Structure 1
Amino acid sequence: MTKTIEDTGEFAGWTTWKDEPFEFESAGPFYFRVDEEGAVAAFRVQRKHMNAGGVVHGGCLMTFADFSLFAIGHEAMEGAYGVTVAFNAEFISGALEGERLEARGDVLRKGGSLSFIRGIISGEDGRPVMNFSGTIKKRKQS
Structure 2
Amino acid sequence: MADEAPPRIVTVTEGEFAGWRYFDTHETFDSLIGPFFFRKDEDGKARCAFRAEQKHMNSGHRMHGGCLMTFADIALFMLAYEQMEGQRGVTVQLDSTFLDAAYVGDLIEATGEVTRAGRSLIFVRGQITTGERLLFTFSGVIRKFRPKD
TM-score, normalised with respect to structure 2: 0.90
Instruction: Map Cα deviations across residues 21-44 of structure 1 (whole Å, 9 max, x no partner).
Output: 221x21111000011240000000
Q: Distance between the aligned counterparts of 2:29 and 2:101, measured in 1?
A: 23
Q: Which amino acid aligns with 2:37?
A: Y
Q: Which residue of 1 aligns with 2:18?
A: 12
Candidates 121, 126, 133, aligned match of 1:127 = 133
Question: Is 1:93 equivalent to 2:97 in the alignment?
Answer: no
Q: 1:26 aligns with which of 19, 29, 32?
A: 32
Q: Indicate yes or no: 2:142 matched with 1:136.
A: yes
Alpha-carbon separation, structure 2, partners of 1:42 and 1:16: 10
Counterpart code for 2:107:
R
- State yes or no: 1:44 paired with 2:51: yes
Whichever residue aligns with residue 127 of structure 2, its letter is: I
Structure 2 match to 1:77:
84
Letter in 1 for 2:55: K
What letter matches 2:89 in structure 1? G
What is the deviation of 1:8? 2.3
**Could you list the per-position Cα deviations for residues 67-119 of structure 1 after superposition, in whole angstroms to 9, with x for gaps in the alignment?**
11011110111111111111111100000100001000010000001000000
Q: Look at both structures and tell me which one has the larger radius of gyration over its CA atoms.
A: 2
| Aligned counterparts of 1:131 and 1:10: Cα–Cα separation in 2 | 25
- Structure 2: give runs of 5+ residues left out of the alignment: 1-5
Cα root mean square deviation, aligned: 1.2
In the TM superposition, structure 1's runs of 4+ consecutive aligned residues that sit over 6 Å from their partners are none
Question: Structure 1 stretch 103-112 or stretch 132-141: which is displaced more?
Answer: 132-141
Give the total of aligned pairs.
140
1:141 shift after superposition: 2.9
Q: Matched residues, percent identical?
A: 46
Structure 1 gap segments, 5+ residues each:
none
